[in-house]
């Protein structure tokens, strides 16, 4: 169709002039594209950029990731969240080093078989790194397509997603997948935003049915909206002889492999006073560690948001006598560390903030 060809030309022309100078776009190295795509899952671009640069400095090639231990990998990832992504990269790097001599595979099927890579990421690597005519559909592309075609099928219904994959595949100009896929994503990120889209400067607004209907914010359509769950939680910093107790979360649990100060979830969608939280934290700590203490001090409060959860984490401290013995009832690995040693251990972002409170 002549209209589709014009759409493609306008979008590609706009992308050439307006694309952001992202570091993985300099050479389109498969390794860099892979890491960037994994980092960008569930994470905003502005957050990812400094982490990407730091990662590439620490691990400039697949072999350097493969040779590293998990502790160093998780430390480099600290603050990005969803730590299984980092562990998957680590394991996949070992497999690529062993099976492909450290060279990232080009075949779409081989890419898809890599640990931690699904249909979207495989398509992104195949199209962006190797310029193969493979579609990719992320949140930005979903939004752009739903508005261009005024698609009223809810995007959060699994069977409807295939509509968008087929549409995107049909739109890719042969031999231009690298730039066209990125252009669609870039349009969604910079122009076709969820609220207040910049239709006046959109390079393809004349092809957009939602723009013609003058209701772009009605798209994409969703069948339901999940409610946010509010969580009340507490953490305790246990100090003895100038050292602090931290423990390592077991593999298979959320944030497995990361170190933390002991914490507990206390309530969902229920407000608790600071006095109540303090009492619950003291009871739980006494039970968990068989330690004899009567008073704990308030250190500060940390808020963390993830998926559909809003959590308020109140942090307390307790200083044990030099002779006190701690007897944890859980078998998690644990160590006593000084303040100077905090930077050797990978914490979640919330517990890195707790370490920051202690350092202050």
Active-site hit among 9, 32, 37, 288: 37
Nearest CA to 76 out of 51, 47, 40 is that of: 51
How is residue 195 annotated by DSSP? S
- For residue 70, indicate whether it is catalytic: no
What element of type H or E holds 70? helix 70-77
Query: Are the C-beta atoms of residues 125 and 37 closer than 8 Å to each other?
Result: yes
Helices 177-190 and 161-171: crossing angle, nearest 10°? 120
Query: Are the C-beta atoms of residues 172 and 136 closer than 8 Å to each other?
Result: no
Q: What would the DSSP string read from start to end of 286-352?
A: HHHH-------EEEEEEEEEETTEEEEEEEEEEE--TT-----SS---EEEE-GGGGGGS-B-HHHH
- The number of angstroms, rounded, from the C-alpha of 77 to the middle of its chain's C-alpha atoms is 10
Q: Which residues are catalytic?
A: 37
């Amino acid at each position: 169709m002549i209209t589709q060809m014009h759409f493609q030309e306008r979008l590609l022309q706009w992308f050439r002039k307006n694309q952001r100078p992202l570091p993985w776009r300099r050479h389109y190295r498969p390794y860099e594209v892979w890491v960037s795509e994994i980092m960008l899952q569930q994470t905003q671009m502005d957050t990812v950029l400094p982490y990407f640069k730091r990662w590439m400095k620490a691990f400039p090639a697949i072999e350097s990731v493969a040779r590293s231990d998990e502790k160093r990998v998780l430390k480099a990832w600290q603050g990005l969240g969803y730590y299984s992504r980092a562990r998957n990269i680590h394991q996949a790097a070992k497999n690529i080093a062993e099976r492909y001599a450290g060279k990232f595979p080009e075949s779409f099927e081989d890419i898809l078989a890599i640990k931690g890579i699904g249909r979207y990421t495989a398509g992104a690597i195949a199209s962006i790194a190797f310029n193969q005519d493979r579609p990719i559909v992320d949140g930005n592309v979903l939004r752009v397509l739903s508005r261009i075609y005024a698609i009223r099928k809810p995007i959060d219904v699994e069977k409807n997603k295939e509509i968008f994959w087929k549409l995107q595949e049909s739109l890719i100009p042969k031999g231009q997948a690298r730039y066209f896929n990125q252009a669609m994503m870039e349009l969604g990120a910079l122009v076709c935003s969820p609220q207040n889209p910049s239709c006046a400067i959109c390079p393809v607004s004349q092809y957009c049915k939602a723009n013609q209907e003058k209701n772009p914010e009605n798209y994409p359509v969703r069948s339901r909206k999940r409610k946010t769950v509010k969580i009340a939680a507490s953490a305790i910093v246990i100090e003895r002889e100038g050292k602090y107790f931290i423990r390592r979360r077991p593999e298979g649990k959320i944030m497995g492999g990361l170190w933390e100060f002991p914490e507990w979830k206390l309530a969902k969608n229920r407000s608790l006073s600071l006095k109540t939280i303090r009492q619950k934290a003291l009871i739980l700590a006494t039970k968990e560690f068989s330690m004899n203490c009567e008073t704990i001090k308030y250190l500060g409060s940390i808020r963390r948001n993830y998926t559909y959860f809003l959590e308020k984490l109140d942090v307390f401290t307790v200083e044990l006598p030099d002779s006190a013995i701690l007897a944890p009832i859980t078998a998690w690995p644990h160590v006593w560390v000084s303040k100077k040693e905090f930077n050797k251990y990978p914490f979640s972002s919330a517990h890195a903030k707790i370490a920051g409170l202690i350092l202050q």
